[in-house]
Each structure stands twice: as C-alpha cells, then as structure tokens.
Amino acid sequence: MDRIPILRMGPFLLVTIQVDLYDRLALTLESDLVQMVNKTGARGVLIDISAVEIVDSFMGRIIGNIASMSKILDAETVVVGMQPAVAITLIELGLPLKGVYTALNVERGMQLLRSMIDLDEDQDEDEETDE
C-alpha cells in the first residue's frame, strides 16, 4: 500500500505531500502521523502542501483532524506552502481551516514551531524561579 513518508527532525515531524492524495492515502497519513507523534514524543508537526494542487472538504477535514489530534498529544501542527489558488478555493468552499496554524514556507513554519515550543519552556523556567 502507498504511504506518505514522515521524517523526524529533532523534536519535529516533517511531512511533504508530493503526490495527489486519494482518500485512503490521506486517512493512512492521519493515523501514521498521530502514531508517530505518540511514539517519538514529537512537539511539532510540519506539513508541507506546496505540491498539492487540490484541497477539497475531505482533505481539509483531515488536516484539521491531524492538528486537533496532535494537539491532544501535546504537539503543534503547522501547514506550510499552500498555493494561492488553493487558498482562494478553500475560502469559497467555506473551509477556512480554523484552528490550524499556517506559514508561507517551510522556513517560516519551522520558525513558528520553534517559537511555540521555546515559549513553553520559558514559561516553565519562570514558574520554577517563582517557586
């Protein structure tokens, strides 16, 4: 069966979707990713969709699911590289991807993930000094 590879990069998981997704492939990715977050204790998931030409309501829901599931497992999700035509279509379709962090490209996505995690650690340190 086809699978989309998930790469580990420090505390993050990196997924680059390079093929046209059909439904089963997207569902497999969803469960693979959530299991990988659990297994590796990753703090962030970065999904690069720059090669994806079509995001319909099903794919949008999968992206939303991945973000909410990862969140419960204490990992943040950032979707990067959305093509402008895809963004226009998603909004007209009525799917604004609420609750999903996005960034323009991989570099900014990584920055965003790092800032989210660094922030958490800073807060922890603050709490310790208060005590």
Tell me whether residue 40 is exposed, middle or buried, using C-beta atoms within 10 angstroms of its C-beta: 0 to 12, 13 to 18, 19 or more. middle
In angstroms, what is the minimal distance from the CB of 45 to other proteins? Answer: 22
Binding region for other proteins (CB under 8 A): 20, 22-24, 53-58, 60-61, 83-86, 88-89, 92-95
Q: How far is the CB of 60 from other proteins (least distance, A)?
A: 8
- Cα 6 → chain centroid: 11
Which among 59, 103, 63, 60 has a CA at the least distance from the CA of 81? 103
Instruction: Report the residue number, 19 or 104, with the smaller CB distance to other proteins.
Output: 19
Name which of 38 and 89 has its Cβ closer to other proteins: 89
Of residues 7 and 54, the one with the C-beta less far from other proteins: 54
Smallest separation (angstroms) from other proteins to the CB of 21: 8
What is the rounded distance in angstroms from the CA atom of residue 57 to the CA atom of residue 59?
A: 6
Torsions phi, psi for 71 (to 5 deg) = -60, -45
Q: Which is nearer to other proteins, 7 or 85 (CB)?
A: 85
Query: Least CB distance from residue 108 to other proteins, whole Å?
Result: 23
Q: With DSSP H G I counted as helix, E B as strand and the rest as coil, what are the percentages for the chain, rounded to 5?
A: 55, 15, 30
